[in-house]
Amino acid sequence: MRKILVTMMTLVFAIAVQGQTETIDSTQFVAFYNYTIQTQDDEGQNVTDSIRLALLVGTRATYCTTVLSYNKDGRASQEMLDAFSMHFQNVLTDVEKSSVVAVEPIYPYRYETHEPMAKVDWTLTEDTLTISGLPCHRTTGKLYGKQWTAWYTEEMPSSAGPWKLRGLPGLIIKAEDAEGIHCFTLYETKNEVIDINMIGSPEYQKLSRKKLMEFKKKTLGNPRYPKEPTYYVPEGADEVLEVNVNGTFYSVGYNSHMMILQKSHVYQPLELE
Amino acid sequence: MKRLLYIILYMMLVASASAQVKVMGRVIDLQQKPVSDVIVKLGSGSKTLAFTSSNAQGVYSLEVKNAPTGEVSLQFTHISYEKESERVTLKEKVTKVDMILTPKSISLKEVTVKPDPLRQKGDTLSHNLASFLGKGDVTLEDGLKRLPGVDVAQSGAISYMGKPISQFNIEGLDMLGGKYNLATRNIPADYVTQVEIVRNHHSRRVEKDVPSNEVSMNIRLSNKAKFKPFGQEEAGAGYMEDGNDRIQTLLGVTGMMFTDKFQTICSLKGGNYKNFARTDMYDHFGGNVISTPATNLFGGFDSGAPPQGEYLYQRNGMATLNGIYKLDSVTTVKVNADYSYHRATHDISQSSTYLSGDGSYMTVTEQTSPLSKVHLPKLSVNYLKNADRVYLSDVFFLKGMFEQNEGDVVANEKEIRQRRRSSSFEIDNSFYWSDRTQKGTVRYVSVPISFKRTPTLRLSFNQDGNGYAQTAQSSTLKMNVHTSFTIPIGKAFKVRLPVALNATYDDLETYREVTGERNKIRGWAFDPTMNPGFEIHSRNRRFYMSAGLGAALKGLYYNRLNYTKPVLNPSMGINYTFSANSKLQFSTGYTTQIGDMMTLLTEPMQVDYRTVRTSSGIIGESNTWHTSGDWKWQLPMQYFTLSLAASHSEGKRNTLYSQSVSGIDVSSSALLRDTRSRSSNFSVATTKNFPSLFAKLGADVSYGFGDSEQAVNSDIFKVRSSNYNLHGNASVTPIQWLELRYDIRYGWSRSRYSEESNTVTSLTHSGAIHVFPIATLDLSLDYDHVRRQITTDTYKRMSLFNASAQYKWKQCVLRLELTNLLNQRSYSYTVFDGINAYTYDYGLCGRTTMLRVTFKL
């Protein structure tokens, strides 16, 4: 990969270049979640990664993305680097069509998958908990090979949830996998009316969900990945631009418009099957 | 047999079919359009039997196994429609319920979910302050005291797991430096959302891969404290039963503003109630006062302070303006301007017992009421660029110190008048540049330059109508140039070469008027050092070792003295990281200290009315080998911390401190004789929080022993000392309207020389009870009970009680304080300084009532 050194105060680039802007719904409210992953760094030390997510909830569709993307903040930053490092997918759930479109950047390409909306067979329990005055109910269910425990509140009558978790008789306040690796925690909701647009682009790599899962398992799950996060990238696939954002240096892909990780953390898949 | 099986199977199918029912239907709105994603829930009482969502056609279908026989409720909820429900009885196998929903006119309420009390991200622990606050807590400092592992001393100094914090930031900006009391004691606790503790903190980002033991704290503010000015006004009036200022008052106003780019805190306070206006100006990183050779030689007439109770009659005032502006994300400009005034007096009876040369003891009793007044103006400007690859800092400050002291004393029934007056100023500029190349080579240059001057210092004494005086003046110019290169060789090894040149020019003059004895010293001290060394990191970065040679040349060139000596001070440090929460540190080093020009003050100097100091003229040299290690372990998510520490020092010095006593006069000098000293210390500290009970428990134990030598009129005594201290504290909220705090300390110390052995013990209980009859009213009673040993068979017991009532009403806090309820007027204790014993009896301030009110602006 050729390296170009550029010094500039700020770099504005789109993290999710949207090929289409077809509006399919507008929001009833926006829910904000902290998403954390318990993992290990390249030296084997335990670390907790976290990013903020925004869940745009409409009557017909929901869209889960990063808060940076929600704020249309495309500047290189540590939070954006964390978002790339955590491999979170932008997930558009079309409730009316019972379909899900997910877009995920895996350097140096973006991958687009289409899948039917998964039906989680939630098991309700008698357990209740009050989180910040919201009465919550505990429920358990399995999605894509992982067992989840979720807390939902009937005070927010929406079946939406972060990522692909949904289908409960109230908004998901907290969801955690059985291994305690992945955790989504609601921290705020806002009544805001904004458009929910279709995601995806002809320029993205199209794969089935299963194939993408296998690809990630093979590539990101490789022990080399935390120390050399771009080990699998072929020579000449992109040009590396080193940008200086107010004194902090970041590497970004010149063609891919993606941040390039120098070190990463052990990949923790959200989907196992 | 086969027929029987068919019958059983048939009966089971019939039974299950009869228990399983289906509820289905369609949901539409008032325009007859289907509504999708409606949550349809079938419930019996509070139990949910089944739920589903409607599809794009508004159709839903629910299946219930083991349907109840009675009525059940079918609920339809949707974020955009009013909630509807219908009672149904599940008699049929299929029950059909259609529903028409009405659009909602009121939008969904917004919620903010309380975050977890504690989060860990790498080395940063984020505490959600609201989760730890007690009902009576008003300021940020009140909240910090409740965090696991955090200690806030009476002075306001913050430490985490026993380590004082090295930086205090507000929203990532270090505006106040060491004067962080200004923030912790003036920012309301409910304006702070997160308190972040950063372990292994690096103040310079270019050094981020070098292991660090520093701890810093960062405060995150709530939105209501951002972008608009806020502050607080305080006013109070009270009465003290005895003392110089019976009418007590306080008045203060503090304003602050925090935006993304700019922060400011300005404050104006004054009063004569305790240390009201003084405490905010305390600089925890040092630099409150100016220390010059003249002020060091001739200090005030004050000594010591009782560990419990208010004893100073104080008047103090301060004005401070602080601002920091962010030029970009890594560059800031900071201006701090302060002025403070402090006047304090108190009553003290002191009994000093000295060992004289013939083995007998001589006791001097003194009664005095030392008075000190000091004005401290200061202005500092700081430019800082702190980026990943470059660090550039320049700090300029100008400060003054103007003191007046009175120390009239009655000693063994003789009256002596003592006065002291001194003026000093200091100009200082510190430049620091460091950069880091892409390959990891780190270079730095540091150039601090300071000039300190005490143009006039005068002590005057009058005894039996005879007056005599001592004057002094001093100027000191100090320049240091430090530079270093750190070059990585491979991934695990680094070589570094720090070079420094310290040069100090001194001009000191003392004059004893009654005898005409004069000291006049001028000259330079040069101290070039070179410390070639290396750093080793293991590949997994758990192990880190650094070592340096520490070669230096010590040079003193004063008057006719030409003294040059090469020294070698090697040092080594090892860190081992077991995990992010468990670390072991070890360091060892050999240091050589060479005496300074003070040892050339061979003409007598009158330090106070009965102490004449004369230096030996011998250049002292002390060599110390110090080794220390500590292990810190914490389980942040279990709110548990534990630290163990041990240290040992061995020292050798070529001069021995010697005292001689004649009548009530004590003089000191140094003998040219090698002397050795040793000391060892061990400590253990632990804290544990129980968030569900709002409880925090802590305990620490320390033990130390050592020996040294002292001389009295040329007789040498070997003094052995040992001590241990036990400390425990607990704060707990057993029920919602009650908070309890308890603190116990026990100290034991012994010193032995020849056949003599002196042991002193002390036991202190402190406690507080807070009762909240209503959420906004805090009634509290706190007490200190002390039992201290005065002599071998004499113990003194003392109890101090304080009470307060605090009422929070909207933006206002009304507080009534009753201090020293039992009107305890004295506090006594004894300390042994090797062969001498000093017993102090401090006068305490009388019972005081104060009503104060604080408004949040």
Residues of A in contact with B330 (CB under 8 A): 246-248
Q: Residue A1 above 50 pLDDT?
A: no
Cβ of residue A77 closer than 8 Å to a chain B Cβ: no
Quick check: B244 pLDDT over 50?
yes
Residue type, position A168, single letter: L
Reading phi first (left if > 0) and then psi (alpha if -120 to 50, else beta), residue B280 is in alpha
Asked if A247's CB is within 8 angstroms of B37's CB, the reply is: no
Under the banding of pLDDT at 50, 70 and 90, the label for residue B13 is very low
Which of A45-54, A58-67, A114-123, B220-229 is least confident? B220-229
Of the residues B101, B124, B145, the one at which a domain ends: B101
Q: Is residue B495 part of a domain?
A: no
pLDDT score of A8: 37
| C-beta separation of B799 from B784 below 8 A | yes
Boundary (domain end) residue, out of B68, B101, B134 = B101
Contact B626, B617 (CB under 8 A): no
Q: Sort out which chain A residues have CB atoms less than 8 A from B34's CB and list them.
A: none
Residue recorded with tokens 């079946």: A159
Cα dist from B656 to B92, B594, B622, B673, B717, whole Å: 105, 14, 11, 6, 11
For residue B399, pLDDT beyond 80: yes
CB contact under 8 A, B540 and A245: no
**Please, which pLDDT band fits residue B713 given cuts at 50, 70 and 90?**
confident
ipTM computed for the complex: 0.76
The reported pLDDT for the residue numbered B518 is 94
Query: And the tokens for B261?
Result: 């780019």
A22/B contact by beta carbon, under 8 A: no
Q: 3-state SS of B565-610?
A: EEEECCEEEEEEEEECCEEEEEEEEEEEEECCHHHHCCCCEEEECC
Amino acid, res. B202: H
Q: Does A17 touch chain B (CB under 8 A)?
A: no
pLDDT reading at A17 higher than 50:
no
The answer to whether A231 contacts chain B (CB < 8 Å) is no
Residue B3 has pLDDT above 70, yes or no: no
Separation between Cα atoms, residue A23 and residue B395, nearest integer Å: 55
Range of the domain at B245: 113-303
Q: Which residues of A touch B83 (CB under 8 A)?
A: 157
**Cα-Cα-Cα-Cα dihedral sign, residues A119, A121, A126, A129:** negative
Percent of chain B with pLDDT over 70: 94
The answer to whether the CB atoms of A159 and B37 lie below 8 A apart is yes
> Does some domain include residue B851?
yes
Distance between CA B126 and CA B131 in Å, rounded? 12
- Whether residue A116 is predicted with pLDDT greater than 60 in this model: the reply is yes
pTM (2 decimals)? 0.69
β-pairing verdict for B21-29 and B99-101: parallel
Distance of alpha carbon B151 from alpha carbon B139, whole angstroms: 15
Do B241 and B159 fall within a single domain? Answer: yes
Query: What is the separation of C-alpha B703 from the centre of its chain, rounded to a whole number of angstroms?
Result: 23
Chain-chain contact of A247 with B390 (C-beta, under 8 angstroms): yes
Q: What is the pLDDT of residues B660-706, one digit of tens each?
A: 777 667 777 777 888 999 999 999 999 888 866 778 899 999 999 99
In a domain, B439, yes or no: no
A236 close contact with B: CB closer than 8 A: no
Size of interface A-B (CB pairs under 8 A): 125
Residue B715's pLDDT band (cuts 50, 70, 90): confident
**Chain-chain contact of A48 with B542 (C-beta, under 8 angstroms):** no
Question: Are both B650 and B690 inside the same structural domain?
Answer: yes
In this predicted model, which residue has the larger pLDDT, B664 or B49?
B49
The edge-to-edge listing of strands for the beta sheet with B163-164 is B150-152, B158-160, B163-164
- Residue B414 pairs in a beta bridge with B411
How confident is the model at residue A12, as a pLDDT?
Answer: 36
pLDDT one-digit tens code per residue, B350-375: 888 887 766 677 888 888 989 999 99
Place of tokens 């009659």: B313
Residues B654 and B729 in one domain: yes
Q: What is the pLDDT of residue B757?
A: 83
Which residues of A fall within a CB distance of 8 Å from B80?
A: 28, 59
d(CA B814, CA B235): 10
> A188 at the B interface (CB within 8 A)?
yes
Task: Provide the shortest C-alpha distance from residue B46 to chain A (in Å).
Answer: 9
Q: Which residues of A touch B389 (CB under 8 A)?
A: 247, 249
Higher pLDDT, B848 or A135: B848
B123, B214 in Cβ contact below 8 A?
no
- DSSP bridge pairs for B648: B627, B680
Examine the pLDDT at B186 and tell me if it is beyond 70. Answer: yes
Strand pairing report for B611-613 and B665-690: parallel
Contact of A193 with chain B, judged by CB distance below 8 Å, is answered with no
Scanning every residue of chain A, which has its alpha carbon at the shortest distance from the alpha carbon of B542?
Answer: A43
In terms of pLDDT, which residue wins out, B642 or A4?
B642
| pLDDT tens digits, B289-344 | 899 999 999 988 876 777 777 888 899 999 999 999 999 888 999 999 999 999 99
Instruction: Establish whether the linkage from the previous residue to A108 is cis, with ω within 30° of 0.
Output: yes
Long-range Cβ contacts of A225-230 (<8 Å, 24+ apart): A225/A264, A225/A266, A225/A267, A226/A40, A226/A41, A226/A42, A226/A263, A226/A264, A226/A265, A226/A266, A226/A267, A227/A42, A227/A263, A229/A85, A229/A107, A229/A260, A229/A261, A229/A262, A229/A263, A229/A264, A230/A1, A230/A107, A230/A260, A230/A261
B700 & B843 share domain: yes
pLDDT-derived band at B429 (thresholds 50, 70, 90) equals very high
| Cβ separation A247–B121 shorter than 8 A | no
Best CA proximity match to B337, nearest among B430, B234, B266 = B266
CA dist., res. A258 & res. B614, Å (int): 73
Cβ–Cβ gap A247/B51 under 8 Å: no
Average pLDDT value for residue range A181-204: 88
Q: Is residue B552 part of a domain?
A: no
**Does the distance separating the beta carbons of A137 and B48 come in below 8 Å?**
yes
B514-552 pLDDT, tens digit per residue, is 899 999 999 999 999 999 999 998 877 788 899 999 999
Instruction: Check if A214 contacts B (Cβ < 8 Å).
Output: no
Instruction: Tell me whether residue B397 is in a domain.
Output: no
Are B206 and B251 members of one domain? Answer: yes
- For residues B810 and B666, membership in a common domain is answered with yes
Interface test with B, best of A9, A26, A43, A79 (most B CBs within 10 A): A43
Domain boundary at B271, B303, B335, which? B303
Question: To the nearest whole angstrom, how far is the Cα of B541 from the nearest Cα of chain A?
Answer: 7
CB atoms B580 and A247 under 8 Å: no
Q: What is the pLDDT of residue B12?
A: 46
Q: Are B167 and B160 in contact (CB under 8 A)?
A: no
Q: Are residues B97 and B119 in the same domain?
A: no
In this prediction, residue B827 carries a pLDDT of 82
Write out the DSSP string of B647-713.
EEEEEEEEEEEEEEEETTEEEEEEEEEEEEEEEEEEEEEEEEEEGGGTEEEEEEEEEEEEEEEEEET
| Cβ pair A189:B540 closer than 8 A | no
Contacts 24+ apart (CB under 8 A), B588-592: B588/B625, B588/B626, B588/B627, B588/B628, B589/B550, B589/B625, B589/B626, B590/B550, B590/B623, B590/B624, B590/B625, B591/B623, B591/B624, B591/B626, B592/B552, B592/B554, B592/B567, B592/B568, B592/B621, B592/B622, B592/B623
Answer whether residue B576 is part of any domain.
no
pLDDT of residue B440 exceeding 80: no
* Integer Cα distance of B835 and B850 in angstroms: 44
Measure in Å the smallest separation between the Cα of B122 and chain A Cα atoms.
Answer: 6
Residue of A nearest to B79 (CA): A157
**B55–A156 C-beta distance less than 8 A:** no
Question: Does B140 lie in the same domain as B77?
Answer: no
What CATH number has the domain bearing residue B81? 2.60.40.10
- A140: which chain B residues are within 8 Å (Cβ-Cβ)? none
Q: B306: helix, coil or strand?
A: coil
Interface of B with A (CB under 8 A): 36-37, 39, 41, 47-48, 51, 53, 55-56, 77-80, 83, 107-108, 110-116, 119-122, 328-331, 385-390, 540-542, 577, 579-580
For chain A, the average pLDDT equals: 84
- Among candidates B39, B110, B121 on the partner chain, residue whose Cβ is nearest the Cβ of A191: B110
Closest C-alpha among B212, B207, B214 to residue B577: B212
Interface mutation vs chain B, best among A37, A159, A185, A228, most B CBs within 10 Å: A159
Report which residue type is found at A198.
Answer: M
Q: Does position B32 have pLDDT exceeding 70, yes or no?
A: yes
B330–A124 CB contact, under 8 Å: no
Distance from the Cα of A197 to chain B's closest Cα (Å) equals 19
**B94 and B243 assigned to the same domain:** no
Q: Cα(B449)–Cα(B501) distance, rounded to whole angstroms? A: 12
Cβ A169–B540 below 8 Å, yes or no? no
Number of structural domains chain B divides into: 3
Please tell me the number of Cα atoms within 13 Å of A10 on its side-chain side: 8
pLDDT of the residue at B110 = 66
SS (H, E, C) A32-75: EEEEEEEEECCCCCEEEEEEEEEEEEECCEEEEEEHHHHCCCCE
Task: Classify residue B31 by burial, with Cβ atoms within 10 Å: 0-12, 13-18, 19+.
Answer: exposed
Residues in A closer than 8 angstroms to B540, CB to CB, are: 43-44
Closest CA to B349 of B845, B786, B839: B839
Of A123-137, B137-151, B569-583, B623-637, the poorest mean pLDDT is in A123-137
Are B48 and A169 an interchain contact pair (Cβ–Cβ within 8 Å)?
yes
Partner-chain residue, chosen from B107, B108, B389, that has the shortest CB–CB distance to A249? B389
Distance from CA of B328 to the nearest CA of A (A): 6
pLDDT classification of B649: cutoffs 50, 70, 90: very high
Average model confidence (pLDDT) across chain B: 87
Examine the domain organization and report whether B95 and B128 are in the same domain. Answer: no
Contact in structure between B95 and B86 (CB atoms under 8 Å): no
Q: Are B751 and B702 part of one and the same domain?
A: yes
Instruction: Spell out which residues of chain B touch residue A95, defining contact as CB-CB under 8 Å.
Output: 36-37, 53, 56
For chain B, the C-alpha Rg in angstroms (whole number) is 35
Identity of the amino acid at B319 = A
The residue ranking higher by pLDDT, B55 or B384, is B384
In a domain, residue B449? The reply is no
Interchain contact, A59 vs B107, CB within 8 Å: no
Residue A10: its pLDDT value, please? 37
The stretch B493-520 carries a mean pLDDT of 93
Asked whether residue B199 is assigned to any structural domain, the reply reads: yes
Contacts of A248 in chain B (CB under 8 A): 329-330, 387-388
pLDDT at A31 > cutoff 90: yes
Cβ-defined contact of B56 to A96 (cutoff 8 Å): yes
* Cβ-defined contact of B580 to A47 (cutoff 8 Å): yes
Residue A86 phi, psi (nearest 5): -90, -5
Note whether B44 and B170 are same-domain residues: no
Share of chain B above pLDDT 90, in %: 43
State the Cα–Cα distance between residues B431 and B395, nearest whole angstrom.
7
Residues of chain A with pLDDT > 90, as a percent, come to 35
A76 shares contact with chain B (CB less than 8 Å): no
Instruction: State the average pLDDT over residues A59-88.
Output: 86
